[in-house]
Amino acid sequence: MKNKRYIIVGNSIAGVSCIEGIRKIDKNGEICVFSDEEYFNYSRPLISYYLAGSLKENQLNFKDKQFYKSNKVKLFLNTKCEKIDFKRKILYTKSGNFEFDYLFLGTGGKPIIPKIKGIENVKEGIFTFMKLKDVKKLKKYIEKEKKVKNVTILGGGLIGLKCAEGLLGRNIPLVIVELADRLLPNTFDFIASEIIENKLKEKNCEIIKKNTIEKIISKDGILKEVILKDGKKIKTDILIIAVGVYPNTELIEGTEIEKNKGIIVDEFMRTNINFVFAGGDVCESKEFDNNRSVIAIWPRASRQGKIAGINMAGGEKKYEGMFLMNSVELIGIPTISFGITNPENEKEYEILKKIDYEKKIYKKIVIKENKIVGGIFLRDIERAGIIIGLTKNKVDVQVIKKSLINDKFGLLYLPENYRKHIVKGEGIEV
């Protein structure tokens, strides 16, 4: 029997997980992986530590080079994929043309660059913070200039705060400008945001909320100043744009592949073409709430890549959806937030809270109809995995409701039938 030919476009966590999924079923099929980056892989959640200097470049890899060799993968780095002929099943690249039987698209996301007056005149001083090459450019610029007195970050979401963490590790004063009324507005409430904000202020970081950059001033192509919507002027040597990402669907534009916000996939991670799959930040899938969404988080990309690979190789595994979740350390504070964290109409929900401002500990659990639908954990995150498991499995928590934010809450508090499910079933995923 002829071996199958698999092509994977993208070598981040979705693409690497796709390799693992394929090899779980098919040990001998030909796998080719293409990446437009020159690095064989790296963990994007760690790039802020590389910027700070606490991790070296060789410590960012989540798989070593042996992984590709042992899985019999042909890896093409620094190779841009230019076009796909879906009828003839050919991928066109600068390195040549490649035929395939199955194709996985894991092209990730691209940074959103807002239209700001004067941005087109700047040749030096503006950066994004998504890929390792972005961070290396920023790091090189800082080390070259050596007199960077201040940096402005546009965006107080996860990307902006991780960038801030890296820069503060280099003792560079910062200003964060956020359009919303709090930091991390998509996943944090006011209390969680305030705790992180106060920690940032301790580190010589100014926070400006309910505002944005309206104009950029440069001289001879070099960034000098930004002017906010309210007229406030901020002298700055560097501007980091971190307002969000959007799916990188460039490769399938004008083709028969269906897309909305991202490439549309079914529960098997299959597109409208039955031999083409997609996963990660580029894809739009049905999630935990039964709505189609693009959720740009590492665990989702990993899971979707693995499921796609299994199904490409002839298996049959469904993606059951995830909720918006972040598990990340911010300015030395471990945080986990998931699901509905800041409901608009609180009367429809029951909300449990526990706060210790001095220790920067915060727990919040959001309940609707006796089922957990969201939560926030700052610093004390040890039992967050159990809470997430209860949420995912839609367990009725009426009997144990009062114990959920208890410091001693654990497996023994759970209903007996659910404890058996954890021991015998798949267990809890964090």
DSSP-derived letter for residue 2 is P
pLDDT score of 419 = 64
The CATH number for 332-424, chosen from 1.10.3720.10, 1.10.10.10, 3.40.1640.10, 3.30.390.30, is 3.30.390.30
Residue 284 structure tokens: 């739009």
Nearest to 4 by CA among 33, 28, 21, 39: 28
Give 422's pLDDT tier (boundaries 50, 70, 90).
Answer: low
Could you report the per-residue pLDDT of 95-126, keeping only the tens digit for each?
899 999 999 999 999 999 999 999 999 999 99
Q: Which residues are paired to 85 by β-bridges?
A: 90
pLDDT score of 426 = 44
Asked if 162 and 298 touch (Cβ cutoff 8 Å), the reply is no
Asked if 90 and 44 touch (Cβ cutoff 8 Å), the reply is no
Inter-CA distances, 168 with 151, 174, 195, 203, 204, Å: 10, 8, 17, 7, 8
Sequence-ordered strand ranges (E) for 236-332: 238-241, 245-247, 263-264, 276-278, 283-286, 292-293, 325-330
The segment(s) of the chain belonging to CATH 3.30.390.30 are 332-424
Asked if 383 and 410 touch (Cβ cutoff 8 Å), the reply is yes
Count of beta carbons in the 10 Å neighbourhood of residue 88: 8
What is the Cα–Cα distance from 337 to 324, expressed in whole angstroms? 8
What is the Cα–Cα distance from 300 to 81, expressed in whole angstroms? 24
Could you report the per-residue pLDDT of 18-75, keeping only the tens digit for each?
999 999 999 999 999 999 999 889 999 899 999 999 999 999 999 998 999 999 999 9
Three-state secondary-structure class, residue 228: strand
Predicted confidence (pLDDT) at residue 428 exceeds the cutoff of 60: no
Tell me which of 345 and 17 has the higher pLDDT.
17
Predicted confidence (pLDDT) at residue 306 exceeds the cutoff of 60: yes
What is the Cα–Cα distance from 241 to 235, expressed in whole angstroms? 16
The segment(s) of the chain belonging to CATH 3.50.50.60 are 5-44+60-109+247-312, 119-243
Nearest to 144 by CA among 222, 45, 78: 222
pLDDT score of 171 = 92
What is the Cα–Cα distance from 63 to 40, expressed in whole angstroms? 9
Give 323's pLDDT tier (boundaries 50, 70, 90).
Answer: confident
If you average pLDDT over every residue of the chain, what do you get? 93
pLDDT score of 361 = 95
For the purposes of burial, counting CB atoms within 10 Å of the CB of 379, is it exposed (0-12), middle (13-18) or buried (19 or more)?
A: middle
Give 5's pLDDT tier (boundaries 50, 70, 90).
Answer: very high
pLDDT score of 173 = 92
In words, the CATH class of domain 5-44+60-109+247-312 is alpha beta
Could you report the per-residue pLDDT of 203-227, keeping only the tens digit for each?
989 999 999 999 999 999 999 999 9
| φ and ψ at residue 336, rounded to 5 degrees | -140, 130
Could you report the per-residue pLDDT of 391-418, keeping only the tens digit for each?
988 899 998 888 898 887 877 667 666 6
Q: In the CATH scheme, what architecture does the domain 119-243 have? A: 3-Layer(bba) Sandwich (3.50)
pLDDT score of 2 = 85
pLDDT score of 168 = 95
pLDDT score of 265 = 98
Alpha-carbon torsion (152, 46, 93, 301), positive or negative: negative
Q: H or E element: which one contains 206?
A: strand 205-209
Give 424's pLDDT tier (boundaries 50, 70, 90).
Answer: very low
Give 311's pLDDT tier (boundaries 50, 70, 90).
Answer: very high
Nearest to 430 by CA among 244, 276, 303: 303
Asked if 187 and 337 touch (Cβ cutoff 8 Å), the reply is yes
Count of beta carbons in the 10 Å neighbourhood of residue 208: 18
Our separate counts of H helices and E strands in the chain read 9, 26
Gyration radius (Cα) of the chain, Å? 23
pLDDT score of 427 = 40
What is the Cα–Cα distance from 241 to 426, expressed in whole angstroms? 40
Residue 221 structure tokens: 């192509």
Three-state secondary-structure class, residue 1: coil
